[in-house]
Amino acid sequence: MKHEGDQTASDSGTQPLLLRGDLGHCANRGRTYPREGNMSELVEVRDYKCLRYLRQSLQQFHLLVGSNASGKSTLLDSLLFVRDLSRLDVEAAVHAHRRSVAELVWKGGGDAFEIALEFRLPEEVRSTLADDCYRALRYEVRVRGTEGGIWLEVENLWLLAAPQRRGREREEVAGRSFPREPEVPDTIVIPPAKHAPKGWRKVMSRSKDGRVYVQSERTRWNMGLRPLPGRSGLTVIPEEQERFPAAVWLRRLLTERIQFLMLDSYAMRAPVPPDAPDTYQPTGANLTKLVEGLQKNHRNRFRDRVQHVHTVLEDVEEITVRERPRADALQRYCKGVG
């Protein structure tokens, strides 16, 4: 996943990802919910930076392409903001992105913005829930900031039953909505004390006085908690697989699994030791091992990759992995790459 241009997120200087579709007008690009088996997300944003309103589903591999200042980085930044909320105070999360909430609000025209993310639950988590109708988790927040401070005005975590297409999306799928301007909803979050839509089950919510209410995903067990000032409800949901398998999975996803591809050319030149991890490392340090795995187990995909590299580096006709014998260990390197 790669992206060009400036970075305003807390991971400034990193190389994030992708946009499919032009966000040129920061318009709503509502999509149908990702298909089953595809652990994709839906990003919904209101009044965040240059995004007046956006509703965009993300596929497992998703390229963001758009002209400068069309909102690519902002979309990524909204994911990072939620990631930051899962481990920082809301004030620190805001300050990791801008100096104030006002600077984060669309055109500085208000004192609140909203972000909602939906995550498809993996099968192993779904199967542990009491009711197998739940397929996704939706986390939503409204952040408000005034001279009096910065706080989470709304915060909810929902289990969602099978996704229902909203009316507008149904039309878009049928291709009838173009070129209608997107409608901006009044809000994308469910305020405290409002009824949940049909098929939504509350896992966590925050009351006006800052108390957080959690309800087990498997039983009717529930309790009220009072987080430290500024802490999100996400940070205080008990780390219990029994009661909160989905919420615990989500918190781990947010805190540990949002990664940025940041190739380290120095590390990539070094030989890869045999005990290097088999899984993708964002520095590219174990690229040789991944190439070898692809070559051995996925011949066709490997050939496609070589051809792809060939399109930009015409001299490269083949990529090979060699094991280099050494007295103490077997080291590997990638000819022409490592």
Report the b/e string of 101-138 with b at 16+ CB within 10 A.
beebbbeeeebbbbbbbbbbbeeebbebbeeeebbbbb
Closest contact distance (angstroms) between CB of 49 and ligand ADP is 4
- 28 contacts which partner out of ligand ADP, Mg ion, none, CB within 5 to 8 A by kind? none
Of 68, 265, 279, 297, which lies in the binding site for ligand ADP, with binding defined by CB under 6 A? Answer: 68
251 touches 86 (CB < 8 A): yes
**What's the rounded Cα separation, in Å, for the pair 34 and 58?**
8
| Residue 5 binds Mg ion (CB under 5 A) | yes
User: Measured from the CB atom, is 56 or 74 closer to ligand ADP?
Assistant: 74
Residues 18-57 as x/- pattern, contact with ligand ADP by CB under 6 A = -------------------------------xx-------
Of residues 66, 227, 230, 338, which one binds ligand ADP by CB under 6 A? 66
Q: Verify binding: residue 63, ligand ADP, rule CB under 6 A.
A: no
Q: Rounded to whole angstroms, how far apart are CA atoms 72 and 40?
A: 17
**Between 9 and 143, CB nearer to Mg ion:** 9
Instruction: Select from 28, 56, 70, 73 the one that contacts Mg ion (CB under 5 A).
Output: 73
Task: Verify binding: residue 71, ligand ADP, rule CB under 6 A.
Answer: yes
Options 28, 40, 73, 215; binder of ligand ADP; rule CB under 6 A:
73
Q: Are 61 and 39 in contact (CB under 8 A)?
A: no
Task: Dump strand ranges (E) for the chain.
Answer: 41-48, 51-58, 112-120, 134-146, 149-161, 200-206, 212-215, 222-225, 320-324, 331-335
Residue 331 Cα distances to 8, 122, 328, angstroms: 40, 36, 9
74 binds, among Mg ion, ligand ADP, none (CB under 5 to 8 A by kind): ligand ADP
- Interacting residues toward ligand ADP by CB under 6 A: 5-6, 49-50, 66, 68-74, 103-108
